[in-house]
Amino acid sequence: MEVMTRPARLNAVFDGFPVELVPGRAFELLSRFCLDMDAMGRLDAETGDPLIDEQTLVVMLREFVGQPEAERLVGMLGALPGSSFRPAQQLGPPTVEVSWFELSEHVVIFDTSPEAAFGQLQLPARPRSKDVVAAVNRRFPSLEEELLTPQLLPARVAELLADEAQLDAILRTLVRQLGWWAALVAVMFVGPAAVTRAERFKGKERGVAGNTWPLAMYLLAAGIGGWTLTVVSNCVLAPVD
Protein backbone atom coordinates (compact mmCIF):
# COMPACT_ATOMS: atom_id res chain seq x y z
CA MET A 1 0.00 0.00 0.00
CA GLU A 2 1.35 3.42 -0.99
CA VAL A 3 2.01 5.72 1.97
CA MET A 4 0.87 9.29 1.42
CA THR A 5 3.27 11.92 2.75
CA ARG A 6 2.04 15.35 3.74
CA PRO A 7 3.84 18.42 2.39
CA ALA A 8 6.57 19.89 4.58
CA ARG A 9 5.80 22.72 6.97
CA LEU A 10 7.20 26.12 6.14
CA ASN A 11 9.15 26.41 9.39
CA ALA A 12 11.45 23.62 8.15
CA VAL A 13 13.05 26.33 6.01
CA PHE A 14 14.40 27.82 9.25
CA ASP A 15 16.79 24.91 9.78
CA GLY A 16 20.24 26.45 10.08
CA PHE A 17 19.02 30.07 10.26
CA PRO A 18 22.04 32.36 10.87
CA VAL A 19 20.64 34.00 14.01
CA GLU A 20 23.82 35.98 14.60
CA LEU A 21 23.24 37.94 11.39
CA VAL A 22 20.00 39.67 12.45
CA PRO A 23 18.75 41.46 15.57
CA GLY A 24 17.13 39.12 18.09
CA ARG A 25 13.77 40.88 17.78
CA ALA A 26 13.94 40.62 13.99
CA PHE A 27 14.46 36.87 14.26
CA GLU A 28 11.46 36.57 16.60
CA LEU A 29 9.22 38.55 14.25
CA LEU A 30 10.38 36.68 11.17
CA SER A 31 9.75 33.37 12.95
CA ARG A 32 6.23 34.51 13.88
CA PHE A 33 5.69 35.68 10.29
CA CYS A 34 6.59 32.18 9.09
CA LEU A 35 4.21 30.48 11.54
CA ASP A 36 1.32 32.78 10.58
CA MET A 37 2.05 32.26 6.89
CA ASP A 38 1.88 28.50 7.43
CA ALA A 39 -1.41 28.82 9.34
CA MET A 40 -3.50 30.94 6.96
CA GLY A 41 -4.03 28.49 4.10
CA ARG A 42 -7.45 26.95 3.52
CA LEU A 43 -9.03 24.80 0.82
CA ASP A 44 -12.71 24.94 0.00
CA ALA A 45 -13.99 21.54 1.11
CA GLU A 46 -16.33 21.28 -1.88
CA THR A 47 -14.28 22.70 -4.77
CA GLY A 48 -10.69 22.43 -3.52
CA ASP A 49 -10.14 26.11 -4.36
CA PRO A 50 -7.32 27.77 -2.38
CA LEU A 51 -8.25 30.43 0.15
CA ILE A 52 -6.55 32.66 2.73
CA ASP A 53 -7.98 32.95 6.21
CA GLU A 54 -8.72 36.66 6.55
CA GLN A 55 -8.28 36.89 10.31
CA THR A 56 -4.92 35.08 10.30
CA LEU A 57 -3.57 37.54 7.74
CA VAL A 58 -4.71 40.44 9.94
CA VAL A 59 -2.90 38.86 12.90
CA MET A 60 0.26 38.43 10.80
CA LEU A 61 0.31 42.04 9.64
CA ARG A 62 -0.60 43.66 12.96
CA GLU A 63 2.66 42.41 14.48
CA PHE A 64 4.42 44.85 12.18
CA VAL A 65 2.05 47.76 11.49
CA GLY A 66 -0.65 47.60 14.19
CA GLN A 67 -4.29 46.51 14.07
CA PRO A 68 -5.84 49.47 12.18
CA GLU A 69 -3.25 49.37 9.40
CA ALA A 70 -3.47 45.58 9.16
CA GLU A 71 -7.25 45.78 8.78
CA ARG A 72 -6.87 48.50 6.13
CA LEU A 73 -4.48 46.39 4.06
CA VAL A 74 -6.63 43.29 4.30
CA GLY A 75 -9.66 45.38 3.36
CA MET A 76 -7.86 46.61 0.25
CA LEU A 77 -7.06 43.02 -0.74
CA GLY A 78 -10.63 41.99 -0.11
CA ALA A 79 -11.93 44.68 -2.47
CA LEU A 80 -9.81 43.43 -5.39
CA PRO A 81 -11.19 41.28 -8.23
CA GLY A 82 -10.73 37.57 -7.60
CA SER A 83 -10.32 37.97 -3.84
CA SER A 84 -9.75 34.54 -2.30
CA PHE A 85 -10.39 35.17 1.37
CA ARG A 86 -12.11 32.90 3.81
CA PRO A 87 -13.93 35.68 5.67
CA ALA A 88 -13.63 36.11 9.42
CA GLN A 89 -17.35 35.31 9.69
CA GLN A 90 -17.60 32.07 7.71
CA LEU A 91 -20.89 31.99 5.79
CA GLY A 92 -20.14 29.70 2.87
CA PRO A 93 -19.05 26.08 2.43
CA PRO A 94 -16.71 24.53 5.02
CA THR A 95 -12.96 24.80 4.55
CA VAL A 96 -9.98 22.63 5.41
CA GLU A 97 -6.87 24.13 7.02
CA VAL A 98 -3.71 23.22 5.10
CA SER A 99 -0.03 24.07 5.32
CA TRP A 100 1.41 26.81 3.13
CA PHE A 101 3.17 24.33 0.86
CA GLU A 102 -0.03 22.32 0.44
CA LEU A 103 -1.97 25.50 -0.34
CA SER A 104 0.66 26.53 -2.89
CA GLU A 105 0.06 23.37 -4.91
CA HIS A 106 -3.28 24.93 -5.85
CA VAL A 107 -1.95 28.40 -6.79
CA VAL A 108 -0.70 28.51 -10.37
CA ILE A 109 1.83 31.33 -9.96
CA PHE A 110 3.55 29.71 -6.95
CA ASP A 111 6.59 27.49 -7.51
CA THR A 112 7.75 26.41 -4.07
CA SER A 113 10.97 24.83 -2.84
CA PRO A 114 10.03 22.78 0.25
CA GLU A 115 13.53 21.35 0.37
CA ALA A 116 15.11 24.77 0.89
CA ALA A 117 16.65 25.60 4.28
CA PHE A 118 18.72 28.49 5.57
CA GLY A 119 21.49 26.04 6.37
CA GLN A 120 22.05 25.65 2.62
CA LEU A 121 23.24 29.24 2.27
CA GLN A 122 26.92 29.32 1.43
CA LEU A 123 28.16 32.12 3.67
CA PRO A 124 31.75 33.00 4.59
CA ALA A 125 32.87 32.86 8.22
CA ARG A 126 32.22 36.58 8.75
CA PRO A 127 29.67 37.54 6.14
CA ARG A 128 28.96 41.12 5.19
CA SER A 129 25.57 42.28 3.95
CA LYS A 130 26.61 41.84 0.32
CA ASP A 131 27.63 38.24 1.09
CA VAL A 132 24.14 37.49 2.43
CA VAL A 133 22.55 39.02 -0.67
CA ALA A 134 24.86 37.03 -2.97
CA ALA A 135 24.16 33.77 -1.12
CA VAL A 136 20.39 34.17 -1.46
CA ASN A 137 20.80 35.04 -5.13
CA ARG A 138 22.88 31.89 -5.73
CA ARG A 139 20.10 29.74 -4.24
CA PHE A 140 17.36 31.55 -6.16
CA PRO A 141 19.03 33.02 -9.27
CA SER A 142 15.76 34.43 -10.62
CA LEU A 143 15.75 36.84 -7.68
CA GLU A 144 17.80 39.80 -8.87
CA GLU A 145 20.39 40.99 -6.37
CA GLU A 146 19.10 44.57 -6.34
CA LEU A 147 15.75 43.27 -5.11
CA LEU A 148 17.53 41.64 -2.16
CA THR A 149 19.30 44.76 -0.93
CA PRO A 150 17.62 46.41 2.07
CA GLN A 151 17.76 49.90 0.57
CA LEU A 152 15.34 49.46 -2.32
CA LEU A 153 12.13 47.50 -1.78
CA PRO A 154 11.64 48.16 1.97
CA ALA A 155 11.78 51.92 1.36
CA ARG A 156 9.30 51.62 -1.51
CA VAL A 157 6.92 49.57 0.64
CA ALA A 158 7.03 52.25 3.35
CA GLU A 159 6.30 54.90 0.72
CA LEU A 160 3.29 52.99 -0.58
CA LEU A 161 1.86 52.47 2.89
CA ALA A 162 1.67 56.25 3.18
CA ASP A 163 -0.11 56.62 -0.18
CA GLU A 164 -3.22 54.46 -0.43
CA ALA A 165 -4.02 55.54 -3.99
CA GLN A 166 -0.61 54.43 -5.28
CA LEU A 167 -0.77 51.20 -3.33
CA ASP A 168 -4.22 50.40 -4.66
CA ALA A 169 -3.09 51.12 -8.23
CA ILE A 170 -0.15 48.72 -7.88
CA LEU A 171 -2.29 45.99 -6.33
CA ARG A 172 -4.79 46.29 -9.17
CA THR A 173 -1.97 46.16 -11.74
CA LEU A 174 -0.75 42.93 -10.15
CA VAL A 175 -4.24 41.47 -10.30
CA ARG A 176 -4.43 42.27 -14.02
CA GLN A 177 -1.02 40.78 -14.69
CA LEU A 178 -0.90 37.69 -12.47
CA GLY A 179 -4.11 37.54 -10.46
CA TRP A 180 -5.14 38.17 -6.87
CA TRP A 181 -2.44 35.97 -5.36
CA ALA A 182 0.27 38.29 -6.70
CA ALA A 183 -1.38 41.21 -4.86
CA LEU A 184 -1.33 39.10 -1.69
CA VAL A 185 2.42 38.60 -2.11
CA ALA A 186 2.93 42.36 -2.38
CA VAL A 187 1.07 42.92 0.89
CA MET A 188 3.12 40.18 2.54
CA PHE A 189 6.22 42.30 1.86
CA VAL A 190 4.98 44.71 4.54
CA GLY A 191 6.15 42.63 7.51
CA PRO A 192 9.77 41.98 6.49
CA ALA A 193 10.09 45.54 5.15
CA ALA A 194 9.07 46.95 8.54
CA VAL A 195 11.53 44.74 10.43
CA THR A 196 14.38 45.71 8.12
CA ARG A 197 14.29 49.38 9.13
CA ALA A 198 17.48 50.05 11.09
CA GLU A 199 15.91 52.76 13.24
CA ARG A 200 14.01 50.05 15.12
CA PHE A 201 17.29 48.88 16.66
CA LYS A 202 20.27 50.22 18.60
CA GLY A 203 24.00 49.59 18.76
CA LYS A 204 25.37 46.53 16.99
CA GLU A 205 21.88 45.35 16.08
CA ARG A 206 21.39 48.40 13.91
CA GLY A 207 24.36 47.33 11.81
CA VAL A 208 22.87 43.93 10.97
CA ALA A 209 19.20 44.91 10.65
CA GLY A 210 19.52 45.11 6.86
CA ASN A 211 20.28 41.38 6.65
CA THR A 212 16.69 40.70 7.64
CA TRP A 213 15.43 41.63 4.16
CA PRO A 214 17.42 39.19 1.99
CA LEU A 215 16.84 36.41 4.54
CA ALA A 216 13.10 37.13 4.54
CA MET A 217 13.14 37.05 0.74
CA TYR A 218 14.81 33.64 0.94
CA LEU A 219 11.88 32.42 3.05
CA LEU A 220 9.37 33.92 0.61
CA ALA A 221 11.21 32.48 -2.39
CA ALA A 222 11.03 29.02 -0.80
CA GLY A 223 7.30 29.43 -0.21
CA ILE A 224 6.32 31.32 -3.37
CA GLY A 225 9.04 31.08 -6.01
CA GLY A 226 11.83 33.36 -7.15
CA TRP A 227 10.26 34.26 -10.49
CA THR A 228 6.96 35.35 -8.96
CA LEU A 229 8.78 37.37 -6.30
CA THR A 230 10.79 39.12 -9.00
CA VAL A 231 7.70 40.03 -11.05
CA VAL A 232 5.83 41.29 -7.98
CA SER A 233 8.87 43.23 -6.74
CA ASN A 234 9.38 44.97 -10.07
CA CYS A 235 5.71 45.94 -10.18
CA VAL A 236 5.94 47.36 -6.64
CA LEU A 237 8.98 49.41 -7.68
CA ALA A 238 7.45 50.68 -10.92
CA PRO A 239 6.21 54.29 -10.98
CA VAL A 240 2.45 54.73 -10.92
CA ASP A 241 1.00 56.69 -13.84
Closest alpha carbon to 81 in 183, 3, 8: 183
pLDDT at 3 over 60: no
Kindly state whether residue 16 falls inside one of the protein's structural domains: no
Please give the model's pTM, rounded to 2 decimal places: 0.93
pLDDT at 188: 97
Q: What is the DSSP string of the chain?
A: -PPP-PPPPGGGGGTT--GGGS-HHHHHHHHHHHHHHHHSEEEETTT--EEEEHHHHHHHHHHHH-HHHHHHHHHHHHTSTT--EE-SS--SS-EEEE-HHHHHTT-TT----TT--GGG----SS--HHHHHHHHHHHSTTS-HHHHSTTTHHHHHHHHHT-HHHHHHHHHHHHHHH-HHHHHHHHHTHHHHHHH-GGG--HHHHHHGGGHHHHHHHHHHHHH-HHHHHHHHHHHHSPP-
Identify whether 75 is part of a domain: yes
Tell me what pLDDT residue 6 has: 53
Question: Residue 8: inside a domain, yes or no?
Answer: no
Domain count, the chain: 1
Would 4 be classed as within a structural domain? no
Predicted pLDDT of residue 241: 74
| pLDDT tens digits along 123-147 | 998 999 999 999 999 999 999 999 9
User: Is 211 among the domain residues?
Assistant: yes
Q: Which pLDDT belongs to residue 91?
A: 64
Q: Could you tell me what percent of the chain has a pLDDT over 90?
A: 80
Q: For the segment 44-87, what is each residue's pLDDT rounded down to a tens digit?
A: 998 999 999 999 999 999 999 999 999 999 999 999 999 999 87
Residue 1 is assigned to a structural domain of this protein? no
Kindly tell me if the per-residue pLDDT of 198 is higher than 80: no
Quick check: is 6 in a domain? Answer: no
* pLDDT score at 112: 95
Domain of residue 165, residue span? 22-110+126-237
